């Protein structure tokens, strides 16, 4: 039996409209994220995220490069949101996160994008870097529901989130997929100008886990609810990796974690040794060892042949 997304019940009860109003009100003096810029985004004032009254969409597509439980045979319905509230110097999507490439989208257009991805056979709607556009997503949701949207929503963030904003998403978001980037505040200060990132990420991920628990899958192995955490292993960053995986194991040893090997020096990374080089494979192997040593056992599958077998291709 299919699991109904939580937002449908909130919509039926009228609670979703209350969340929309609360989120929209926050744009008058924006404190949506830890940056707390306090600009009036409804009047065109821009803060760190460089986003005003309307969200900017860079692209949307059925994505087959996401984690195994999100992809299935239909892909993850991924919506790449332009700009970012964190702004790491090494961002792998630098043109989108720093350059703001994309098109301003009205709520009806965002709703149409969600429904289009559902019609293409995607298993979920995956908002990438949504921390600064929570009101925009909520505003589009009733319009998408009216058009038949029934897919789980994924909140795919940097981990630099406000607990207060996340509470507006309780029962709306089915799957949280945050990064946990930095454990050391000096790293966060240097690479993202966010020395409070470690404490904010710990609080945010704890709230996410409180709302949705461990990742749950249906009979086909497709995620329907829960927490999935990404950690991009950085050159010279194994000490931070060790602390991060121990924190995640402390939440639950059943936390589903993607230990990511794909770091390459992008953006302005060349200016910040030791991240001016690619990750050594030995560093990745050690990161996985640290995760297993911490007790984490649900690590995302990286074996391409296994993925093909899961899809029934070989």
User: pLDDT of 88-111, one tens digit each?
Assistant: 999 988 888 888 789 999 999 999
Tokens of 267: 């953006």
**Mean predicted lDDT score pLDDT of the chain:** 94
Residue with tokens 């039926």: 12
The pLDDT tens digits of the residues spanning 208-266 come to 999 999 999 999 999 999 999 999 999 999 999 999 999 999 999 999 999 999 999 99
Give Cα 102 to chain centroid, integer Å.
Answer: 18
Mean pLDDT of 173-195: 97
User: What CATH class has 6-310?
Assistant: alpha beta
The DSSP line for 141-177 is: HHHHHHTT--SPEEEE--S---HHHHHHTTTT-SEE-
Distance CA 101, CA 51 (A): 12
Backbone φ and ψ of 309, nearest 5°: -65, -40
Degrees (nearest 5) of the Cα angle 76, 216, 203?
A: 90
Q: What is the predicted pLDDT for the residue at 302?
A: 64
CB-CB contact of 64 with 70 (8 Å) = no
> How many angstroms separate the CA atoms of 211 and 163, rounded?
11
- Is the confidence at residue 307, as pLDDT, over 80? no
**Strands 153-156 and 223-232, bridge-based pairing:** unpaired
* CA distances for 210 relative to 67, 99, 182, 214, 298, angstroms: 22, 34, 21, 9, 19
Q: What is the pLDDT of residue 2?
A: 65
Three-state DSSP class for residue 2 = coil
pLDDT higher than threshold 60 for residue 196: yes
Nearest alpha carbon to residue 245 among 234, 261, 229: 229
What pLDDT score was predicted for residue 311?
46
Please give the pLDDT value at position 3.
75
Extract the tokens encoding 291.
């995760």
Q: Quick check: bond before 274 cis, omega within 30?
A: yes
Q: Look up the pTM and report it.
A: 0.94
What percent of the chain shows pLDDT beyond 70? Answer: 95
CA dihedral 145, 105, 47, 45 (to 10 degrees): -110
Both tokens of 7, joined, read: 């937002």
- Residues facing residue 128 across a β-bridge: 80, 156
310 pLDDT exceeds 60? no
Q: Nearest Cα to 85, choosing from 157, 165, 182? A: 157
> Torsions phi, psi of 176, nearest 5?
-95, 130
Q: Hey, what long-range contacts does 169-173 have (CB within 8 A, 24 or more apart)?
A: 169/19, 169/134, 169/211, 170/211, 171/6, 171/7, 171/9, 171/10, 171/15, 171/211, 172/6, 172/7, 172/10, 172/16, 172/19, 172/138, 172/141, 173/6, 173/211, 173/212
In angstroms, what CA-CA distances link 198 with 40, 162, 190, 240? Answer: 27, 12, 13, 10
């Amino acid at each position: 039996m299919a699991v109904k997304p939580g937002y449908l019940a909130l919509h039926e009860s009228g609670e979703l409209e209350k969340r929309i109003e609360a989120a929209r009100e926050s744009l008058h003096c924006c404190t949506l994220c830890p940056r707390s810029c306090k600009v009036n985004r409804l009047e065109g004032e821009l803060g760190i995220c460089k986003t005003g009254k309307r969200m900017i969409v860079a692209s949307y597509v059925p994505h087959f490069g996401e984690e195994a439980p999100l992809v299935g045979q239909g892909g993850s319905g991924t919506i790449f949101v332009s700009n970012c509230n964190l702004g790491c110097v090494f961002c792998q999507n630098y043109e989108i996160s720093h350059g703001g490439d994309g098109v301003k989208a009205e709520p009806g257009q965002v709703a149409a994008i969600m429904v289009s991805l559902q019609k293409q056979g995607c298993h979920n709607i995956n908002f990438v870097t949504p921390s600064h556009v929570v009101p925009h997503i909520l505003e589009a949701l009733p319009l998408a529901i009216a058009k038949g949207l029934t897919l789980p929503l994924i909140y795919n963030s940097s981990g630099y989130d406000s607990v207060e904003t996340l509470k507006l998403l309780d029962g709306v978001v089915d799957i949280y997929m945050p990064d946990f980037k930095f454990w050391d505040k000096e790293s966060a200060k240097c690479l993202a100008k966010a020395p409070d990132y470690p404490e904010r990420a710990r609080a945010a991920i704890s709230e996410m886990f409180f709302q949705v628990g461990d990742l749950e899958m249906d009979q086909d192995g497709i995620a329907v609810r829960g927490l999935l955490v990404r950690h991009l292993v950085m050159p010279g960053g194994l000490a931070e990796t060790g602390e991060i995986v121990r924190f995640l194991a402390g939440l639950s040893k059943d936390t589903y974690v993607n230990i990511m090997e794909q770091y390459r020096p992008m953006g302005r990374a060349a200016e910040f040794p030791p991240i001016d080089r690619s990750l050594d494979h030995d560093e990745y192997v050690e990161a996985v060892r640290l995760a297993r040593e911490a007790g984490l056992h649900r690590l995302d599958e990286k074996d391409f042949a296994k993925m093909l077998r899961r899809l029934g291709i070989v």
